Structure 1
């Protein structure tokens, strides 16, 4: 297990922990929908709202096969599958995340349209030109060789396939204040700048069609999250389940990082040329 995977691996028992949290929230697993899980399995900044923007940018159909690079607990994959009818293959470095993602897909009745496998997002081993679309959400911050990540997405996509990157980028306001949800310190944090991204994606072969900066919305999202935590504590179903006691400090630091422009949240939509 490498340093990044260790950071994301909690004390174990994530499935049972999430199950207990669902019980505490009064949610019945027999009628569970992906939206019920979004506070825990869509743990990127702005959560489900950002996932819906990704869906719009990918332009999926029921017949689409989608690759999710760094799929985490599978929240975006399940939302894509439920709302568009597509099938999704998720690849993640953390084995426990893949196990939990598989269980959550079974609970929500989406096991037939989502599958998760342990692997390296920069070298998935999947066949060339077999995916209609691909996404990566808050993953590249932990990957130093970003060209390898984007080149792998390009390789697996069919010509004309869409690729969406939604990531935290380095801002102009100075060094990131740690800990943050993707790293305890700078040793596993490798943030690109927006300018870097405008070079990295075309260097991998992609044509960029849009670039949307959501940093202001992200700041409001974290401010509201921090206020809720300070008033009521973390909600029962939340990604604090694996970030542990540092979760509150991470949220507070993200408010500072966004307010002082130390980080940006940006979504790039691009495609592999025909």
Structure 2
């Protein structure tokens, strides 16, 4: 297995997670109730909601590195429109959980595919949007991934990145973090390198926003919630394992110490 499979696929407690969801929410969970397990990126469901405002209601959307599919469920919950939404992830256990959770929630029409973001199984001009939410950081060959994204995007399409980048004090980076248990599983790059790669692959940068400070505030609030006596039924540890408390603490420290930054980048193929 690849290192990504090892990191994200080791839990594979599908039945345990589904039983926990059904016991906590027998009438079916909402996207907000599922957020502790399927909105594991820095910023949580509020960051996802902010990102989805960039997407038209009826579009062809490909999400690379979709995990448990929280962004797709939130999209259908917010937009109430039919759209082609493809969830693609290299880790098959995550896709199995995504599909199983979909059966517990309001029906929608997302497709779920196990595939590599560095070799997309789609024709040219297949999508209006490609979304990556904390997934480029797990892709070693970013040049190849961006080439593939440029190929499958329509001429007027958009690539939307909500990503973690190296900060000015990356040397102080602490592991484990949610996307990597050790340094050689993490493929963070600097903003300058990301923008250069995008331009090399024919993208025009439409906008770039720094979301670091609001991400730090969010992570601080999450730590305060975790320290409360009463624990929620669903927690990130169900997916990321017992080390999640250390991961969350490290993310907060890494943000505060400027070891990492959170950005949103919107780019279009030329």
TM class, shorter-length:
over 0.9
The answer as to whether partners of 2:85 and 2:111 remain within 8 angstroms in 1 is yes
Matches within 5 A, 1:30-41: 30-41=27-38
Give the aligned CA root-mean-square deviation in angstroms.
Answer: 1.6
Q: In the alignment, what sits opposite 2:8?
A: 8
Are 2:96 and 1:99 aligned? yes
In structure 2, list runs of 5 or more residues that go unmatched.
Answer: none
Deviations 1:71-104 (A, max 9, x none): 1000111212332322210110100111111112
Name the CA distance, whole Å, in 2 between partners of 1:210 and 1:110: 34
Q: In the alignment, what sits opposite 2:74?
A: 79
The answer as to whether partners of 1:154 and 1:204 remain within 8 angstroms in 2 is yes
Name the CA distance, whole Å, in 2 between partners of 1:232 and 1:155: 50
Q: In the alignment, what sits opposite 1:22?
A: 21
Other structure's SS at 1:6 match? helix
Q: In the alignment, what sits opposite 1:229?
A: 226
Q: In the alignment, what sits opposite 1:124?
A: 120
Q: In the alignment, what sits opposite 2:248?
A: 251
- Give 4+ residue runs of structure 1 displaced > 6 Å after superposition: none
Other structure's SS at 1:117 match? strand
Return the offset for 1:24.
Answer: 4.8
Higher mean Cα deviation, 162-171 or 31-40? 31-40
Higher mean Cα deviation, 183-192 or 234-243? 234-243
Q: In the alignment, what sits opposite 1:44?
A: 41
Return the offset for 1:32.
Answer: 3.0
Return the offset for 1:261.
Answer: 0.1
Aligned length: 267
Question: Normalising to structure 1: TM-score of the pair?
Answer: 0.92
Deviations 1:223-251 (A, max 9, x none): 11122222337532122212111100111
Name the CA distance, whole Å, in 1 between partners of 2:262 and 2:231: 23
Name the CA distance, whole Å, in 1 between partners of 2:174 and 2:231: 21
In structure 1, list runs of 5 or more residues that go unmatched.
Answer: none
Q: In the alignment, what sits opposite 1:173?
A: 169
Q: Which of 117, 120, 135 is matched with 2:131 structurally?
A: 135
Name the CA distance, whole Å, in 1 between partners of 2:148 and 2:90: 15
